[in-house]
Every structure is written in C-alpha cells, then in structure tokens.
Amino acid sequence: MTSIYDCKVEGIDGKEIDFADFRGKKILIVNVASECGFTPQYQQLVELFNANKDNFIIVGFPTNEFGNQEPKKNEEIAEFCQLNYKVTFPLAAKMELKSNPVYKWLSIEEENKSIDTEVKWNFHKFLINETGGLVASYPSAITPFDESILDWIQSES
C-alpha cells in the first residue's frame, strides 16, 4: 500500500469503506472501544465531526486487543455508538489492528513516509492531510478537543 487512498476496509455495517472517497478531506483515524476509560471521547469525536463535515472525516476502528475493552460484536458496537453518542462517522468492522493494512501504513515510517508509531491503547489518533499524508499521531490521553487537533482541522494545508 503506497497511500491511505489505496486502502479499503469492511465497515461495521458490512459495506466497504474506501479511503479514496476521502481524497481532499482531512482524516482522523482512531481505534475505539466501548468499555474503556477513554470511551467518553466518542462525544468529542461526534461533535468534531458534526462541526467540520465539509472538509473532515473520522473513521473509527473498533478493536478488542487493548485490555479486552471491546467484547461486543459489530451490531452491538454500532447500536452502542448510536444509542449513547449518536455516531454518524464511519466505523470499520471490529478487527485486530496489527493485522490491518491501514494500521500497518499508519504505524510504519517506511510505509507512510512520515513517522513510526506504536499504538499502545484505545483512542489513539492519527491525522492525515487532504493529500493523504500522515501528519501526526496522538496517544489516547490527547482528547479530540486538544488545541493541536482543533488548530490542524481549521488550518489551510
């Protein structure tokens, strides 16, 4: 995979998420879990997405590999996200990040031509610019409303 735009993943609803559809938009990719101490970040993610839909997309990747904090099946995850946070941004089908081509590209500098990153917990955030370049990686404790993320979304690239 040479670009994020080369990637397609199964969505939580069984439909394909094609990253080429997001060309020209800023992308925030985040691994999510419904039973994590950081789960309330869903609220900020929803607010951020709703306020910036024209030029910004969020893609959530449910995973159970950090502390077994996403034990639910895809339909239960989708229901949880809708009932508790009214999530409307795309969610991938639940998967292991380490075997996912998107996360391989995000984590390995040789692949993304930017940075090496190890995802250590749920709600790790990656920022991708309008041309598909990885620009930043933020650990779980950095919230979606962190000034650096808000400034990036509002900036002209």
Give residue-wise pLDDT tens across range 64-98. 999 999 999 999 999 999 999 999 999 999 999 98
36 flagged as catalytic: yes
Name the CATH superfamily housing domain 4-149: Glutaredoxin (3.40.30.10)
* First and final C-alpha spacing in the chain: 23
Share of the chain above pLDDT 90, in %: 96
Q: What's the pLDDT at 156?
A: 79
The answer, as to whether pTM is greater than 0.75, is yes
Catalytic one of 17, 29, 36, 149: 36
Q: What's the pLDDT at 157?
A: 60
